[in-house]
Amino acid sequence: MMQLVDLEKAFQAKIDQEIKIEPKDWMPDAYRKTNIRQISQHAHSEVIGMLPEGNWISRAPSLKRKAILIAKVQDEAGHGLYLYSAAETLGMSREQMTEDLLSGKAKYSSIFNYPTLTWADMGAIGWLVDGAAILNQVMLCRTSYGPYARANVRICKEESFHQRQGFETLMVLSQGTPEQKAMCQDAINRWWWPALMMFGPTDSESTNSDTSIKWKIKRKTNDELRQQFVDMAVQQVKVLGMTLPDPDLKWNEERQHYDFGEINWTEFWNVVKGNGPCNKQRLDAKKKAHEEGAWVRAAAVAHAQKKAARTTQKVA
Ligand code: BYC
């Protein structure tokens, strides 16, 4: 029988050779645990992320915009489903994940605890929030756990449409009336800093990064991805004819990157700990939906049981 150290060595060798880890493969407990943590939090983010945008479906300015927004929000539900399924392959039940979300034990992305005040927020979310998420998820298409990597491939295909529709929404507003231009700039101002926080704490504060990089769960650090995002957004905002709300943004010739101002980490940790502007509202909405959906889950189970009983009768 193989010793634990040998199993661990063989596991790391597989990772180093870029061989994907699959559900039935041996893996260290900590690898399983951190994947369950990250994948389930990612799934919760997709599902909670439906709420700020769902808020605008009834108020979208045209039938076309309404149809696009409904499709986007529906896509996010699908992303949640792929990810919950990926986490289930690691032995975590869907019921447990839901319970952890509703009890506040499991985290979801800080970004979804901010309010959506105007129509321009739909554009800013698509451009900045989906834009930040894509950078992270493109990296995760190459994550070492097979089911998580494959879920991200599919997510990224849909996500790039989301980002384009957000940018196009802002583009239209940025060429509109003075009020529309002001609304566009205001949305960018409010979403910019929270979008930068999506990448997580700085590398020196990130507790999970070292092991996640060693196991190739993450291929880039939080700060590397954040910098990539800043460099990209600085160019894109010029196309919109708008500005980013950071007086310290400046090209650094030596680093070949843009320098940017200090993120308000006190605000970030406050939001992560449940004290952001909309944390309570988001969890209350999810709890209500869960309670109101109880009869659907009961009916689905009853239907499945009836079908199974009929099949058994036929076989007999
Ligand atoms: N918010 O050690 P670290 C979407 C936590 S949805 C809250 O660096 P890690 C969309 C972190 O969990 C897509 N918590 O962690 C949907 C950890 O606490 P625990 C969202 C955060 O895991 C609808 C602690 O801080 N994308 O696109 O190595 C509409 C220390 O951090 C955050 C994902 O979910 C945060 N921002 O790296 C529109 C991506 N940041 O767990 C759009 C998947 C950190 O030890 N997740 N924390 O208690 C990841 O890639 C990684 O988990 C992170 C953090 C980069 C976020």
pTM here is 0.95
Amino acid at the residue 139: M
Q: Is 129 in the pocket of ligand 1 (CB under 6 A)?
A: yes
Residue 164 contacts residue 127 (beta carbons within 8 Å)? no
Does 1 score more than 90 pLDDT?
no
Instruction: Choose among 43, 109, 37: nearest CA to 81.
Output: 43
Over residues 164-193, mean pLDDT: 98
Instruction: Specify the higher pLDDT residue, 217 or 310.
Output: 217
Instruction: Choose among 48, 69, 160, 161: nearest CA to 119.
Output: 69
% of the chain with per-residue pLDDT over 90: 95
CA distance 40 to 86: 9
Over residues 239-254, mean pLDDT: 98
Of ligand 1's atoms, which has the minimum distance to the CA of residue 126? 38
Contacts of 257 (CB under 8 A, 6+ apart): 227, 230, 231
Q: Is 163 in the pocket of ligand 1 (CB under 6 A)?
A: no
Residue 229 contacts residue 199 (beta carbons within 8 Å)? yes
Question: Using 50, 70 and 90 to split pLDDT, how confident is the model at 313?
Answer: confident
Q: Is 121 in the pocket of ligand 1 (CB under 6 A)?
A: no
DSSP 8-state secondary structure symbol assigned to residue 176: S
Q: Is 197 in the pocket of ligand 1 (CB under 6 A)?
A: yes
Break the chain down into helix, strand, coil percent, rounded to 5.
Answer: 70, 5, 25
Q: Could you report the per-residue pLDDT of 109-161, keeping only the tens digit for each?
A: 999 999 999 999 999 999 999 999 999 999 999 999 999 999 999 999 999 89
Does 2 score more than 80 pLDDT?
no
Tokens matching residue 271? 């939001």
DSSP 8-state secondary structure symbol assigned to residue 241: T
Tokens matching residue 194? 């929270």
Over residues 260-289, mean pLDDT: 97
CA distance 285 to 299: 22
Mutate to test the pocket of ligand 1, among 40, 45, 212 (most ligand atoms within 8 A of CB): 45
Q: Is 211 in the pocket of ligand 1 (CB under 6 A)?
A: no
Instruction: Choose among 175, 193, 173: nearest CA to 183.
Output: 173
DSSP 8-state secondary structure symbol assigned to residue 152: H
String of b and e for 259-290 (b: at least 16 CB within 10 Å)? ebeebeeeebebbbeeebebbeebbebbeeee
Kindly report the number of other CB atoms within 10 A of residue 13's CB atom. Answer: 10
Q: Is 46 in the pocket of ligand 1 (CB under 6 A)?
A: yes
CA distance 105 to 103: 5
Q: Is 38 in the pocket of ligand 1 (CB under 6 A)?
A: yes
Q: Could you report the per-residue pLDDT of 179-227, keeping only the tens digit for each?
A: 999 999 999 999 999 999 999 999 999 999 999 999 999 999 999 999 9
Q: Please give the mean pLDDT across all residues of the chain.
A: 96
Q: Is 180 in the pocket of ligand 1 (CB under 6 A)?
A: no
The full DSSP string for 117-129 is: -STHHHHHIIIII
Over residues 249-264, mean pLDDT: 98
**Ligand 1 centroid to residue 267 C-alpha, Å:** 15
Does 315 score more than 80 pLDDT?
no
Q: By alpha-carbon position, which residue is closest to atom 54 of ligand 1?
A: 200
Q: Is 222 in the pocket of ligand 1 (CB under 6 A)?
A: yes
Q: Could you report the per-residue pLDDT of 83-118, keeping only the tens digit for each?
A: 999 999 999 999 999 999 999 999 999 999 999 999
Q: Is 131 in the pocket of ligand 1 (CB under 6 A)?
A: no
**Ligand 1 centroid to residue 144 C-alpha, Å:** 17
Residue 259 contacts residue 248 (beta carbons within 8 Å)? yes
* Minimum mean pLDDT range among 38-52, 89-103, 166-180, 301-315: 301-315
**Ligand 1 centroid to residue 179 C-alpha, Å:** 35
**Ligand 1 centroid to residue 146 C-alpha, Å:** 19
Of ligand 1's atoms, which has the minimum distance to the CA of residue 129? 42
**Ligand 1 centroid to residue 281 C-alpha, Å:** 20
CA distance 170 to 242: 10
Amino acid at the residue 237: V
CA distance 277 to 275: 7
Of ligand 1's atoms, which has the minimum distance to the CA of residue 134? 27
Residues recorded for the chain? 316
CA distance 242 to 192: 12
Q: Is 42 in the pocket of ligand 1 (CB under 6 A)?
A: yes
